[in-house]
Amino acid sequence: MRRVYYILNLIIFVFVAQFLGCKKDPPSYPVGSNAYVNSWILDSLRRYYLWNESLPKKINMDQEPQKFFRSLLHENDRFSYMVNPSDPSSFPKSNRSQFGFDYSTLSSADGKLVFAVIKYVYNDSPASRNGLKRGDYISKINGQQLTASNAVVLQNELLTGDKGQLTLAALENNSLKDIQTVDLSRGMLLEQPILREIFRLNAKTIGYLYINDFSRGIVQSAMLDFTVFKNEHIDALLVDLRYNPGGQVAEAAGIAGLISGLPFHTAFITYTGNKNGGRKTESIGQSASSDGTLQYNQILETSLKLKEVYLLTSATTASAAEILVNNLKPYVNVITIGEKTRGKDEASFAIKDMQPTKTISWEMHPIIYKLSNAFGAGDYATGIVPQYHVNELEALPLKVLPSLDDPLIQHAIALIGGSKSMDKRGASKQSSVSLLRILTDSKQEQTNHEILQINN
């Protein structure tokens, strides 16, 4: 049975009792006033916020709460956010959360040709139900031709609207030819399945997994895939995280366990907070078992116990997906291919009014912890740089995943030794456009607010 889920609600389970030992008196402002809510915001940040010592001294308590919250954030804080569950307009928006797809806007080097490329489409989403697919070209948004000057404006129109219109086009000989117009309406998204493939090339058996996110239950689903890989005695494993914005650390730890077979008590992740939060290290078994879906011994029974794994990344790879990349490194030879990751080496938990009779409807998700692996390595706020840089947009048209013609998969297989016919890059440029520049990419809007979250 498929479960409806909200991508913004990304949870990891961590013991946070050190934060919960006492309660503050309620603010002494009129209930319902901005000052009443803002006093609660300020008090909470002073206790939990990673950068609590940088909070300003002089504050206007009468501001609108969301504006007030943003005014308190540290200059290095890209990911803290606050929403009102009863007000949908307070939630951050993205093409993925609205319509179930993502695209990048590209330009030829001379700027004469501008178009968008759809990178992925969610199953059973408004985008897929309207026939959109990976690799489609977009020439117009809401009836307006894409140009270098309006690409950002048109993207924002799509992000902030409940409806949108796309004109699809064919790209032939450096020119666009409109094909059809697609109308989109905002809709809910369903949990996305894992994609599994086995490539048999040059006497090599290579397992491939595309994991869309680390939502609750992904490891339980992946156990079937790992059982297949185990029975097929694969020689290498390729895990595609290029569009994975993260999710629960329990699921990332579980996948790490399925790959590596590390013993239960092996150190896996360290959380470092402010002086109130302190520092805590958690084992892989604790992390993987923390959401209650599986016991770690079940994971070990299915584990491949690999010493090497190939991970595909992009600038959308973030949060728990980056934990898989960073926290496997002390124990497994992690070979990364693709582009630099998003750079979310931080975690949060939700803060809300827990009184029987609520007087505050807002919910905060401030950054609480910095993250590191068993070697103490973290600080990847600027992203994790891959060992082999491959940009899929340099090999248009994009291929449906999984495909041996996809440049990231191609490069990995070349490194594994599954093919002798590929060049050192592992990809052949197929685009009729000699050089492309990225003008817009919705990865930032759709991942900034999807931080690792601790359920307290």
pLDDT tens digit sequence for 59-83: 899 999 999 999 999 999 999 999 9
Segment 367-375 mean pLDDT: 96
The average confidence (pLDDT) of the chain is 87
Q: Could you tell me if 219 and 317 lie in one domain?
A: yes
Do you know the residue count of the chain?
456
Quote the tokens at residue 261.
């077979």
The CATH number of residue 42's host domain is: 3.90.226.10
End residue of a domain, out of 139, 163, 189: 189
Q: Could you tell me if 296 and 421 lie in one domain?
A: yes
The whole domain housing 144 covers: 96-189
Asked if residue 193 lies in contact with residue 5, where contact means CB atoms within 8 angstroms, the answer is no
Determine the Cα–Cα distance for residues 293 and 287; give it in Å rounded to an integer. Answer: 12
pLDDT band at residue 18, thresholds of 50, 70 and 90?
very low
pLDDT at 241 over 70: yes
Determine the Cα–Cα distance for residues 144 and 382; give it in Å rounded to an integer. Answer: 34
Express as a percent the part of the chain with pLDDT over 70.
87
Quote the tokens at residue 96.
């993925």
Distance between the two ends of the chain, CA-based, in angstroms? 27
Q: Could you tell me if 214 and 257 lie in one domain?
A: yes
Q: Could you tell me if 248 and 384 lie in one domain?
A: yes
Segment 311-337 mean pLDDT: 97
Strand segments, DSSP code E, in 91-231 are: 101-108, 114-121, 137-141, 144-145, 163-172, 175-185, 195-201, 204-210
pLDDT at 86: 85
The single-letter code of the amino acid at 123 is N
DSSP assignment string, 318-373: -THHHHHHHHHTTTSEEEEEES------EEEE-EE--SSS-S---EEE-EEEEEE-
Asked if residue 365 lies in contact with residue 314, where contact means CB atoms within 8 angstroms, the answer is no
pLDDT tens digit sequence for 211-229: 999 999 999 999 999 999 9
pLDDT at 26: 52
Q: Does residue 121 sit in helix, strand or coil? A: strand
Q: Could you tell me if 329 and 429 lie in one domain?
A: yes
pLDDT at 442: 55
Determine the Cα–Cα distance for residues 212 and 414; give it in Å rounded to an integer. Answer: 24
Segment 383-411 mean pLDDT: 95
The edge-to-edge listing of strands for the beta sheet with 81-83 is: 81-83, 363-365, 351-352
Segment 167-182 mean pLDDT: 93
Asked if residue 337 lies in contact with residue 390, where contact means CB atoms within 8 angstroms, the answer is yes
The single-letter code of the amino acid at 398 is L
pLDDT at 313 over 80: yes
pLDDT band at residue 25, thresholds of 50, 70 and 90?
low
pLDDT band at residue 329, thresholds of 50, 70 and 90?
very high
pLDDT at 249 over 60: yes
Q: Could you tell me if 39 and 100 lie in one domain?
A: no
Give the helix/strand (H/E) hosting 185: strand 175-185
Q: Does residue 124 sit in helix, strand or coil? A: coil
Strand partners, 12: 454
Give the global pTM.
0.87
Express as a percent the part of the chain with pLDDT over 90.
71
Q: Could you tell me if 21 and 133 lie in one domain?
A: no
End residue of a domain, out of 168, 189, 210: 189
pLDDT at 17: 35
Q: Could you tell me if 135 and 245 lie in one domain?
A: no
pLDDT at 330: 98
End residue of a domain, out of 164, 189, 214: 189
pLDDT tens digit sequence for 89-117: 788 778 888 899 999 999 988 888 999 99
Q: Could you tell me if 117 and 84 lie in one domain?
A: no
* 269 Cβ contact partners less than 8 Å away, ≥ 6 residues apart: 249, 253, 281, 282, 287, 323, 327, 371, 372, 373, 374
pLDDT at 383 over 80: yes
pLDDT band at residue 15, thresholds of 50, 70 and 90?
very low
CA 330 and chain centroid, separation: 23
Q: Could you tell me if 115 and 250 lie in one domain?
A: no
The single-letter code of the amino acid at 57 is K
Quote the tokens at residue 293.
């879906």
pLDDT at 449 over 70: no
What is the total count of domains within the chain?
A: 2
Segment 36-48 mean pLDDT: 96
pLDDT tens digit sequence for 342-369: 999 999 888 999 888 889 999 999 999 9
pLDDT at 35: 95
Cα angle: 169, vertex 389, 403; to 5 degrees:
50
Q: Which of 37-51, 93-107, 149-163, 410-424 has the highest mean pLDDT?
A: 37-51
* Lowest model confidence (mean pLDDT) among 17-21, 277-281, 299-303: 17-21
